[in-house]
Structure 1
Amino acid sequence: MYLEIVTPEAVLFSSEVDSISVPGIEGEFQMLNNHAPIVSILKEGNIKIHTHTKQHLVFDELNGHISTHADDDKILVLTIQSGTLEFKDNKAIILAD
């Protein structure tokens, strides 16, 4: 699946990923490839990006807010205050604050 995380300032992340876990208003949930289309409001918490490998990712000053999970270096973590998620046709777009 393709994931794009956008803030009012910049695009923080844009790449192919294996899955994502997000802090929904009813609790954390995960999306894998071919997930049903969904639109959801996100609350304060961590977005966990599960990658197969980090070789294809480019880290620069725009996505300096993304860190590696303490237990697994193939999981990237981004803390958000709130946001909106749209998932359709194996593409997830997160508008985050």
Structure 2
Amino acid sequence: MNLEILTPERKLYNGEVYGVQLPGVDGLFEVLEKHAPMVSALKAGRLKVLKDKNGSESAAYLIQGGFVEVFHNKVTVLVEGAVPADTAR
């Protein structure tokens, strides 16, 4: 599936992924390939990109609040701000 992470300033990530873990307002949830269409609010927290099925390759971002839309095997994450988790202070 395709994942796109957007902030008001720039496109932070765009690529094919196995799944993504997101900090929803009601708790952490995960979206995998062929997930049902949905829209959800996100709270500030850690977003984890799962690049492959066995989880050996991943990336993480610390995000501010925003929204996620899942539609036709594409996940679009719209957030107020985000930074790679390994560079956050």
- Taking structure 2 as the reference length, what is the TM-score of the superposition? 0.84
The equivalent residue for 1:88 is 71
The equivalent residue for 1:3 is 3
Once the two structures are superposed, what CA deviation does each residue of 1:7-58 show, in whole Å capped at 9, x if it has no partner? 00000000000000000000000011010001000001011000029xxxxx
What secondary structure, in the 3-state scheme, does the structure 1 residue paired with 2:34 have? coil
| Equivalent residues in 2 for 1:7-86, closer than 5 Å | 7-52=7-52, 74-86=57-69
RMSD of aligned residue pairs (Cα, Å): 1.4
- Which AA in structure 2 matches 1:16? E
- Taking structure 1 as the reference length, what is the TM-score of the superposition? 0.77
Structure 1 gap segments, 5+ residues each: 54-71
